[in-house]
Structure 1
Amino acid sequence: MINTEFVNLISAGLLIAAFSASVLNILAITVDRYLSLYNALTYHTERTVTFAYVILVLIWLVCVALGMLPVLGWNCLQDESTCSICRPVTKNNAALLAVSFLLIFALMMQLYLQICKIAFRHAQQIAVQHQFMATSHASSTTKGVSTLSVILGTFALCWIPFAMYSLVADSRYPMVYTYATVLPATCSSVINPIIYAFRNPDIQKSLWLACCGCVPSNFSLRPRTSSDV
């Protein structure tokens, strides 16, 4: 029979690895978008496919390493009173993860603000160069910024309750509260692709081709610009 405590350690490790992957991947996307606007002229030559694969591998290595911590002794099996809401992770370790998440969220907020500033500045420069208000570019910028706002807002709504609850609660609190906060965080990785699918024309085209084998005649796929976020 498989040891129950070992199963709990593996489950906690998988949970930490999955949540870490969700947060770090969104952070990587945020940094990538910031760099694509900040270095718009040289971005596509500096950021190769190999570079993207290396970043993804590094992210998953970090996530796997974090997921291994409960098995390697990062647990409260020897002292049940120190357990967090995610047994067998200790309350101190859960608090450390929660604080790390909040710091990452603050970093993403700062990057998103910079992205908005750069995107609108690009739109203004395009309008000045053409000596009129470039409606398509302005619309693209507005839509891109609104998409980022939806992604960031959804991310905050899904994750902040769980992070804050991890800071104040422990294993003595009713499990129903833990499930109520952890469920939205679990759904965050499912919600984000849906948002992108409804707001990104490239993804919409891919979905039409995958599902129907064709693209509607009234579907227009505009070229991407440096204002796209």
Structure 2
Amino acid sequence: MDVGHTALDTILSPRFSEYYSNETVALHYNYTGKLTSSRYHTGLRVHAIVFIIVCLFIILENLLVLIAIWKNSKFHKPMYYLLANLTLSDMLAGVAYMVNILLSGANTLKLTPVLWFLREGGVFITLTASVFSLLAIAVERHVTMVRMQLYHTDKKCRTRLFVAADWIISVFLGSLPIMGWNCIRNLSECSTVLPLYSKNYILVCILILILILFAIVILYVRIYRLVKCNSPMGGTSRNMVSRSQKYMALLKTVTIVVGTFIACWLPLFIVLLLDVSCAVGTCRILYKADYFLGLAMINSALNPIIYTLTSRDMRRAIVRLLCLTKDGEQARCCGILVSECSTSQMDRSSHRHEPLHTTLSSGNGPQSPTRTSVA
């Protein structure tokens, strides 16, 4: 055994040989002051169990949406591919975070740096993919609005590029620490929240995510302004009231989309920026960073509600799935669900005139290029 270990050390550089020693993890946690906490000597605590329950909800919720998209041919369209990619990344984020929790606590000190990087990298990659998916949806909505066409010839190709770029960038950024951008053998550069990550790496990632946040805000503001400016101003007072109601509905949806993202992610951004600027042991809030990460995870639970359940078609598909109802049959569930699944003539008529705030979220909308759409 000692001969094999010596041979490994001669092959690997001294820096990378430390990737396979759990003493390295203990050293970094001790330097940052986290090793003194009782959490690394006991099993799962109450808040960890609560986070696991939230993760299970995230997984089941997003899995339900994925199944609904897969089973319904009407959702096999480019825009729904982006929604499916967002849903997949959110579901995987729930899985990765649950695994992270199960490998935390006392199990943390049993990990080698390689396993530690994989544990943290899985959460980072999936959450980053989710954020990039939100940006891709905003870009797609804006491009479609500018071109004034719902089904442009290059839409499918553009969607595939968005999805591919999303995962390539996320995997690349999340793999940088295990490829060498970390603070092993350089303790003074270590993060307190993530003791094996370099502060410079965290700073770069936070700046990228903040730029994405600003881009999403700008794109949705432009979408709202384009819709308002491109709508005809003439008409009766009744039409003016209708347009005003649609503008307010669109503004409300945009506010929910952007506000939810900011509310869930901004506290974590602030904590990580403090992590970069604070000396070791000076900012006590950094030792409570798990709660802020958990808040960011809540965004993965809210995304399906905001981006898919606001679509009438998606809502019906999910209700039918929950009711175990085949297409063409009326759902036999409680009264509320039956009404959601109904397809009366009035409902079909109203669906043909889908409101602006629904097309923003779901991609439903008119196919004619002569009519204003945000789909």
**Equivalent residue runs for 1:71-90 within 5 Å:** 71-84=178-191, 85-90=193-198
Q: CA RMSD in A?
A: 2.6
Which residue of structure 1 aligns with residue 272 of structure 2? Answer: 166
Distance 1:177 1:143, change over 3 A: same
Q: Distance in 2 between matches of 1:83 and 1:67?
A: 17
Which residue of structure 1 aligns with residue 139 of structure 2? Answer: 31
Q: Distance in 2 between matches of 1:140 and 1:198?
A: 18
| Preserved CA contact (<8 Å) 1:140 1:228 | no
Unaligned 5+ segments in structure 1 are none
Distance 1:227 1:206, change over 3 A: same
Distance 1:179 1:101, change over 3 A: same
- 2:164 counterpart of 1:18: no
Which residue of structure 1 aligns with residue 322 of structure 2? Answer: 211
Q: Distance in 2 between matches of 1:82 and 1:131?
A: 64
Q: Distance in 2 between matches of 1:56 and 1:20?
A: 13
Q: Distance in 2 between matches of 1:204 and 1:136?
A: 24
Q: Distance in 2 between matches of 1:136 and 1:209?
A: 31
| Preserved CA contact (<8 Å) 1:159 1:185 | yes
Which residue of structure 1 aligns with residue 252 of structure 2? Answer: 146
Q: Which moved more, 1:113-122 or 1:194-203?
A: 194-203
The offset of 1:136, in angstroms, is 5.7
Distance 1:201 1:134, change over 3 A: farther
Which residue of structure 1 aligns with residue 93 of structure 2? Answer: none
Q: Distance in 2 between matches of 1:80 and 1:64?
A: 25
Q: Distance in 1 between matches of 2:135 and 2:264?
A: 15
Unaligned 5+ segments in structure 2 are 1-19, 21-109, 331-340, 353-364, 367-371
TM-score under structure 1 length normalisation: 0.85
The offset of 1:128, in angstroms, is 2.7
1:109-148: CA deviations, max 9, x gaps?
A: 21111111011223x31x5378961666654443233212
| Preserved CA contact (<8 Å) 1:12 1:89 | no
Count of residues paired in the alignment: 226
Larger radius of gyration: 2
Distance 1:204 1:52, change over 3 A: same
| Preserved CA contact (<8 Å) 1:98 1:164 | no
Structure 2 letter corresponding to 1:177:
K
- Please state whether the residue corresponding to 2:182 is helix, strand or coil: coil
The sequence identity of aligned pairs, in percent, is 22
| Preserved CA contact (<8 Å) 1:12 1:87 | no
Q: Distance in 2 between matches of 1:54 and 1:156?
A: 26
| Preserved CA contact (<8 Å) 1:147 1:199 | no
The higher relative CO (CA closer than 8 Å, separation ≥ 6) is in: 1
Structure 1 letter corresponding to 2:373:
S
**Equivalent residue runs for 1:37-186 within 5 Å:** 37-41=145-149, 43-84=150-191, 85-122=193-230, 124-125=231-232, 128=234, 133=239, 139-169=245-275, 172=281, 173-174=283-284, 176-186=287-297
Structure 2 letter corresponding to 1:189:
S
- Please state whether the residue corresponding to 1:133 is helix, strand or coil: helix
| Preserved CA contact (<8 Å) 1:70 1:89 | yes
Q: Which moved more, 1:138-147 or 1:53-62?
A: 138-147
The offset of 1:20, in angstroms, is 1.4
